[in-house]
Structures are given as structure tokens and as C-alpha cells.
Amino acid sequence: MKILALGDVFGEAAVEYLVSSLPKILSSLSPDLVIANAENASGASGVEPEAAERLFEAGCDVLTGGNHTFGRKAFSAYLDARENALRPANYPAGAPGGGYTVCRAADGRRVLVVSLRGNLGFPVPLACPFETLERILAREQGHYDVSVVDFHAEYTSEKMAMARAFDGKVNVLFGTHTHVPTADETVLPGGTGYLTDLGMTGPVGGVLGVRSETVVAAMKSKLPARFETAEGEIRAHGALFTLSEDGRCLAAERIRF
């Protein structure tokens, strides 16, 4: 079984790129399931329902979220209507949408996909991601064959700690949020496929997908600024995880297109 995970889709040009290129990528890699973090698919803060729909139509099976999931007002209602569009599961229970889903992969297996947000480095803490994931795994026991976690977090230490805590308890765990791919793809001792950060699917001509001059001006002035999506070449970063029949990860491979 192969699971393709795509790093943070940033901006409309990145959506257009995936609409035109993802079918070719899928043809070459033949994944059984495609997961993309889409919290910024409409720009520097949030995703509109139209952009999410285009990603689904392009071949994504599940869209995960993060700290910008609720950046666009219309997306809240969309989350309630689309069970494979996720916000972090450790938001309060009254938040729109759901934090996990169980879907069918192309090979027929039931895959539990969980979206979580870290707490370190964010101004407003959410429920403990460790305890949240423990509860989800216990609640859904027997209802899935493979489990995948997108941990949207700022600190590499928090992502690594989550991976170590759930090694052998989940099949795949990867990090998102920093927009910079890490070089530590591995299979942990318990059989969990892991990568600290997938990186970004977006324009490489700026600073983490944002126009360079905007970011530089904000850092120098120390004043709030309206971030605008950068221009230039689009690159897709992510990882391909290969699992055995019993769910143990056999290989974790970084990808870039």
C-alpha cells in the first residue's frame, strides 16, 4: 500500500499546479491514498470551499488542516458538509467540522486519517494533542486498518515527541506547518513511517510562500502586515509511504515535483 502526503498547499497558483500536474504524479507513483494539507490553499490565511473542491477533483482523497483552517468564513460550513475535509481534532468539540475521518483507500483498506495541531509556539493552546490522539485511537479501534496522522506543529521537538510516543500505534505520522521539508524521513523502530515536515506545495520565489518584500518589511518595522502570496515557480513537496500487508511502514521517501 502506498500513501502520498503533500505538504501545505499555499495559494491559488499551487492549486492550479495540482489540478494540472497531480494526475500525472498519481500515474507515476500509483498511490492508494492521497492526503494534502490545504489550510492555506487560498493564500496566506485560509482556504475557500472552491479551492478545496478543486483539490478533491484533482485527486486528493483527504484534506487536513492547521492553525489557519478557520481563516475564511465560508470554510466553516464546508467542513460540516465534507467529512474528508478536516480541521485539527484538538479544537473544542463545538468547532465546525471534524478532526478525523475513516476512508477507503484504492486497495480497499480502511484508513483513519487524523489532523492535529501542536501547542508549542502558538499563542492559543488547544487540547493536548497526545491525549486527543489516544482518545481517537481508542474510540475507533476495530473500525480501521491503517492510521495516518498529520501533526501541524511549529516545533520539531513536539513533532518528534509525538512520533516517538505513537511509534507502533499509528502507521504513518508526518509534520506540516513550517513549509520547509526536513531530511529525516525514516521508519521508526515500532514500524511507523515518519517525516518531521513535508514542506510546502507552493511558490518558491518568496519567504515560505509569501512575497519576500512583505516579510522583510514586517520584520524590520515590527508592525503588522498583510501577507501576499509570492510568485514564481511552483514546487510540490511531500512524502510517499509504502506499507506492508499488516500495516508496517516499509519505506518513507521524500518527493519533490
> What is the spatial distance between Cα 165 and Cα 158, in angstroms, rounded to a whole number?
10
Q: 68, 152, 177, 237: which one is catalytic?
A: 68
Amino acid at residue number 143? H
Whether 143 is catalytic: no
Q: What Cα–Cα distance (Å) separates residue 167 from each residue in 5, 81, 118, 130, 135?
A: 18, 32, 17, 12, 16
What does the block give as the cell for 43?
Answer: 493564500
Beta carbons of 17 and 47 less than 8 angstroms apart: no
| Four-residue CA torsion sign, 243, 190, 197, 73 | positive
> What is the spatial distance between Cα 180 and Cα 166, in angstroms, rounded to a whole number?
23
Strand spans (E) along the chain: 2-6, 8-9, 33-37, 62-64, 100-104, 110-117, 146-152, 172-176, 186-187, 193-195, 200-203, 234-235, 237-243, 249-256
Beta carbons of 79 and 87 less than 8 angstroms apart: yes
Beta carbons of 244 and 250 less than 8 angstroms apart: yes
Residues with a known catalytic role:
68
